[in-house]
Amino acid sequence: MSSMEGMVPITRAFLASYYDKYPFAPLSDDVRRLTAEIRSMATDLRKDISLTEGDSLLVREAECEPPHKIDENMWKNREQIEEIIYLLESSHWPKALQQQSTTEDAELASVLGRLKDKFHTALKTLQFFQSRNSEFVFNTVMTYMPQDFRGTLIRQQRERSERNKQAEIDTLVSSGGSIRDRYALLWKQQMERRRQLSQLGSATGVYKTLVKYLVGVPQVLLDFIRQINDDQGPMEEQRQRYGPPLYSLTTMVLNIRLFLTLTLGQFEARKIQKHQITILEEAVDVYTSEFERFIKFMGEVFANSPFFITAEVAGATEGRKDDYKETSIPAGRTFEVSFTVESVNSYIAWDFSLSQGKVNLDVGFSVEYTDSLGQKTLILPYRRYESDQGNFCTVMAGNYKLLWDNSYSTFFRKVLRYKVDCIPPVTEPVNSASEVEE
């Protein structure tokens, strides 16, 4: 393994040279043309009518330039696709269209059904892309973490955080929250994930109690994950290189949704014309095919991206500081480590092995709890091991003792290499109202 000495986080200049190998073929000229045509048709529909508050908000959003952030635009496209799918559900059509009393209405219903299928496919592609990349980022970071209880605790913290986030979404949906409300919360949660990634890099926030337990994590990794989403950090090069085509697609899908909203809202008073249906079909075909092409391209870029350094390249194993202790347990003797735990939900964790020679050796190991009255409870039953790694979450305050037993041995001393810790509860901070938004 190569040494970590002299390594630094990946720079924008390095990424620029990498992205030169992955040029994105320009979007079809039809994107610009059809966006303009759909926008023009929507503008005509707005004449001589009073817009609802929701429609006015959608008009302003469609007319504004999209935010210049790739991740935010991904979520914005996902939101608009879901809104469009909602509009294209037959149960949400105007009653006259649901009845399909004319040949023209039946033909339009068939078209809307095909369009809904195309958006469903695009939505699944995007959901898979986002889920896969989220796992890739986290698992790559975890490659550098000590492969013991510390890494386990960070994974558990993430799983707990994700469960809490899903519970928030479920509560919002069950209380009647709109698609827009749900995506506002999803984006807020995405920003919280970024903050947590940065906190992991600087060992603050939810990871503050773990700071002294992150011995052995290469500083180059901590620096990188702290800086990855900075405005002038590594991701800025990606935003400048690949952002513009995505921003154009965001504008396109917003205008498609606006046109559908106004058309279906005025259906009984002003039925859609055949040439408008043709333009709509072409616009949806172009948007979904170009959006899926962009997503698949970005998936390839992420999968091969060097800005997440591999453990082999980083020499992470060699670069880690060894924080194990070593002791010799004579034949017929025992060795113990005790912790006084003040808070429930603390973690008692251990990792040990025996130095082996020509004969395989083992040692007895058990964990017991003693309360304030001196009453003892066996937490981990006695068993003989050559090595073991484990942890448990405390449910009671008091004294915990880890005991290694070599009393059964008549001749052999045991050289024990071990690491044990008592880690206080890892909890998410409760933000004040002023701290929620950054």
Share of the chain above pLDDT 70, in %: 77
Instruction: Give the burial class of 174: count Cβ atoms within 10 A of its Cβ; 0-12 exposed, 13-18 middle, 19 or more buried.
Output: exposed
Evaluated on CA atoms 209, 212, 216, 220, the torsion sign reads positive
**pLDDT, mean over the chain:** 81
CA angle 124–127–129, rounded 5-degree value: 110
Q: Which helix (H) or strand (E) holds 220?
A: helix 219-227
Total residue count of the chain as it appears in this document: 438
CA 205 to chain centre: 17
Q: Which amino acid type is present at position 47?
A: K
Task: Map tokens 């290189």 to a residue.
Answer: 241
d(CA 110, CA 117) in angstroms, rounded, equals 11
Q: What is the pLDDT of residue 430?
A: 43
The answer to whether 407 and 187 have CB atoms below 8 angstroms apart is no
Residues in contact with 237: Cβ distance below 8 Å, sequence separation at least 6, in sequence order: 12, 15, 16, 19
Q: What is the pLDDT of residue 312?
A: 44
The answer to whether 82 and 257 have CB atoms below 8 angstroms apart is no
Going by pLDDT thresholds of 50, 70 and 90, the confidence category of residue 249 is very high
d(CA 245, CA 291) in angstroms, rounded, equals 9
Q: What is the pLDDT of residue 161?
A: 83
User: Does 6 have pLDDT greater than 70?
Assistant: no
The answer to whether 148 and 351 have CB atoms below 8 angstroms apart is yes
Strands (E), 126-214: none
User: Does 227 have pLDDT greater than 60?
Assistant: no
- What Rg do the C-alpha atoms of the chain give, in angstroms? 29
Going by pLDDT thresholds of 50, 70 and 90, the confidence category of residue 201 is low
**Count of other CB atoms within 10 angstroms of residue 154:** 23
